[in-house]
Amino acid sequence: MSSTILVTGGAGYIGSHTVLELLNQGDEVIVVDNLHNASETSLNRVKEITGKELTFYQADILDTDAMDKIFSQHKVDSVIHFAGLKAVGESTQIPLTYYHNNVTGTINLCQVMAKHNVKSIVFSSSATVYGDPQALPLVESMPTGIPTNAYGHSKLMIEEILRDLSESDPDWKIVILRYFNPIGAHESGRIGEDPNGIPNNLMPFITQVAVGRRDELSVFGNDYDTHDGTGVRDYIHVVDLAIGHLKALDRIKEDKGVFTYNLGTGTGYSVLDMVKAFEKASGKTINYKLVDRRPGDVAACYADASAAKNELNWQAEFGLERMCEDSWRWQSNNPNGYKG
């Protein structure tokens, strides 16, 4: 039976891929996005790929009146909450903006949801809540550490707020998904990652070097305690990540409470591993230079995703080669992203 799902931040990178999967499984989708770091073009392309319609509102989750009106006009079953500022470096420079947007925005969203008796939400959290890992792989039962930046703090605060909300009202059904590092793109090459300005993440930086938009990649640190000295991360295909949200919605159709899952592959790759894999997939040489470590970066971070496998019946299906091929197809077909 189809459901009506409201997706905040649904025009963004992970949001647009999740909207596509929701439409493909027959759900009604309402997207709310302020287009601060996204393009409506992504949604138009999702409609082309799926041959299905969606409802889009350009609105901000901080705008109570706008959110109230949207919930009044639709009978929403569940919310997937992506909307938020997400640049780690920027968050250390303008922390109040990040706390206001991410934390206050989520409180506002939950208040409007409660008013309209919509008490089912999947929240987009992050592996940054673990802080500097004390042991690997990371398991959900590990204590959350001290995040190394305001972005991570905002995600951890929201997790705590959602747990307190569930304690106060047991009718809430909440899934917290801690993402590792999403890369890749839809196989059509029509939607993908299109960051504003200088990319904060590794893969869009690599693809922009490959397509000629940037001269070289800066590799931050080559003296970490890893197999080649560069930082190790758990990279997950964005389509696998999107499907994880659909599985999370299934989990809370029946069960009340708060459930927390890592979404990752369980395999760590270094920056130089990623460069080599991308060169193989694209046939391009990626120029890079070694520079000093970046403040707040950890040496290695990868997931134990067995809880998602056991409880959500979810696991990552795509390997590194496919992730790189899909990233390159998107970037080579759209050298300037959604701008042409």
Catalytic residue annotation: 151
154: left (phi over 0), alpha (psi -120 to 50) or beta: alpha
Total Cβ atoms within 10 A of residue 244: 28
Cis before residue 170, ω within 30 degrees of 0? no
Q: Which of 191, 202, 338 is nearest to 278 (CA)?
A: 202
**Integer Cα distance of 57 and 8 in angstroms:** 10
- Is residue 272 within 8 A of residue 219, CB to CB? The reply is yes
Phi, psi of 259 (to 5 degrees): -125, 135
- Is residue 276 within 8 A of residue 52, CB to CB? The reply is no
- Is residue 230 within 8 A of residue 271, CB to CB? The reply is yes
- Is residue 54 within 8 A of residue 31, CB to CB? The reply is yes
- Is residue 324 within 8 A of residue 269, CB to CB? The reply is no
